Structure 1
Amino acid sequence: MVNMGGYKADNGFKSGYLLHLENALKEKIPNSGILGKPHIESRIKTMKKDWQVVYDMVNGTNTSGFGYDSSTHSVTAESAVWDSYIQVHKEAGKWRNKIFPHYEDLCIIFGKDRAQGNKAKDFSQMEEDANNEEQSEQLTPLKKLENSMNQAILGETEVQKKASMVIPEISKMQSLSAFDRFKASRKIMCDPETVLSFWNLEGEDRENFVRFMLEE
């Protein structure tokens, strides 16, 4: 029997799976209020759904031209390939020019059945199957899922913190009208990557970035 900080990988794996992830996240993000149900369970379903979209692009039988760049953590394809694919698969558009850093870890967690031509396992199936694996094999996908969850939620927490600081920062830009300050704040805060870009700049470059966003 393998003990992981109070979590036992035995026949109680299924009932303790969400609880283990909940406790692991509490260590990383104290007082976050994140619970196994509904928060972590919902996050896992969302991660699986996003992974399925990317996996089907990269590995689909009728999707030649797509690849995944491990160094940039993003889907690669020529513009014409993207344009054609998105016309039919609109849900894939969000991954154009956007990183998906946990893709390879999620391939280990969800990919076995997908590679065999079946639907990716839902959460309860993944838990159930883990009971039938060797203990050493159980720990790898569990730890990878835990690490992916930690990184994703920590990243989201940091973005939310920075997003909350956008309005006070833009309010200092008195060369902009009140209307433009409000418009720019709203536009920047609605996209996590734009929030990070905003805070990666300083001084005049940051204000120029705001003006650029207003002109888009």
Structure 2
Amino acid sequence: MTWFVVRRRRPSLVLVIAGSIALGLLLMFLVANRNELYLGSDFEVRTDNLFNYFGLAENATSLSNNEYVYGSGAILNANARNFFFWGRRYFVIAFIRPIPRFLWPTKYADSAEWLNIPNIETENLGVGEQALQETLGWAGARGAAPGLLADMWIEFSWFSLFALFAIGWLYGWAWKKMVSQGNFWNLHFLILSALSVYIISQTLEAMLFRYLLLTGAILIIWRLLVGTFQPIRKKSYSPRY
């Protein structure tokens, strides 16, 4: 991404598709052979773990930590209970989480009580393990993530369509600022690009607090060292394709 950002170019569609397929195959290879990757290993290539992970094996045992299954379960649980967060989890991440724990040791428990949501510190992604157990008969593995679509659904229901549009608009706006002004906005777009993997594979929460932390630090440092966010050269750049 740095290569394209510095040159203000977009990667070709063919390159994006080929790179995505190659990256996906690499990740599946690592998932299936993670226990074989160590110094001194005989390294026997395996596929049975992969089939088990996707639930394709006859005796599959890891469905509850499969992101697709977990995300589908989170949606079914929210629909069955008619309980959606309506931005309350994101409020905790954006405004409560940055408060140092030594200033407010019980911040997550207090915010959960005030906002009537599960404790995001102890409950998996704030979905509620007990709720999943009661609704579906399984709670999901600790650390399992529902993915972007499920995360948006349990937060905003059908209004998640507008939230998804807003995320896309933010990335488009960030791209426009990068190609028209550069400087700080190059770093801003790189941060958004690097953190996009958290949006797709985990949740917006996983991306949001990292975005606030990195962007806030860079804003302060840039302001102190450079003093302006305007382009150094009074010339607008046009994106090259």
TM-score, length-normalised on structure 2? 0.31
Q: Which has the higher contact order (CA 8 A, sep 6+)?
A: 2
Higher strand share: 1
Calculate the TM-score normalised by the size of structure 1. Answer: 0.33
